[in-house]
Structure 1
Amino acid sequence: MENICRCGHRCPTVEQLRLYFGTWVYYGYQPFKIGFIPVWWIFANTAAVLVPFILIYKLAPKLTGLKQLLVIVLLPSGAFLGHAAVGWPIYSALGTNTDTFPHSIIQVATALCILLSIAVVWTLMQVTDIAVDNTVHRSKNDAVNCLLAENTY
């Protein structure tokens, strides 16, 4: 049974439990783990989730009629695109014999994967004009301005 967080997202504990009991295994040297999951996987998975949805968000106005069927192809393709775009450094490093390959290079590849994930998601958000939601700050400021306006004669 999957564990759902209050925010509605799958908790990383789902993967942690499977790794703990050995039903999932990450082969080779995996640096920078949180529990049992390599940190680079968290960032690569984030890109794999966000990239297809950002693509659909941007293309939605153009997907009318039968073109809407493209979503069936765009979602999995976008997921692979996101994972591959940020994961290629670590894939290349883990494709070696990690027992004899310098661990420092694998650690650098992990850091590159994390940086690429942040860069890819940020870039796509800039290109698609997705802004960070500031409604909380705006509503607080509006409330303060209303109070000041009401008390001014």
Structure 2
Amino acid sequence: MATVVYFPQRRPLSGKTKTRTVPRSPLEELAHLDDEAAVAAVKRGLPVRLIHLLSERLGLPVDTLAAPLQLTLRTLQRRLQEGRLGQVESERLHALVRLFFQAVEVLGAEAKAVHWLTSPERALGGRTPLSCAETLPGLRQVENELWRIQDVVYS
């Protein structure tokens, strides 16, 4: 069941507010879980459909997410058949989804975030942010670069 976010809106003439609901996608739900819920979800193992959803949002084949998820192609295929990821893979997927939405927030649009994540960046040694995210130190480096971009934009 999708989480619902409530946005108050003002009625132009009456001045009263009304509430409209906007359902979140499963990826948005995952990215915005509190720590306790995220730990529980990762321990249970995330559903593999989230890999498909992320690959669609990034405009990349599912196989390209194998490296950032620390999976061989064969293991990825097996997980896709099983329907659920293991704890380590779930943890990596959670981190990638959070990174994606952090990029969307910092860069202001999903298309810009996708372009940034999949294009070589000078600040990352000419590697793509997605390829840097294959390791935890690389993931931190990408997050730090996003914070740097955000600081430049808002200062």
Q: Which has the higher strand share?
A: 2
RCO higher in structure (CA 8 A, sep ≥6): 1
Larger Rg: 1
TM-score, normalised with respect to structure 1:
0.35
User: What is the TM-score of this pair, normalised by structure 2?
Assistant: 0.35
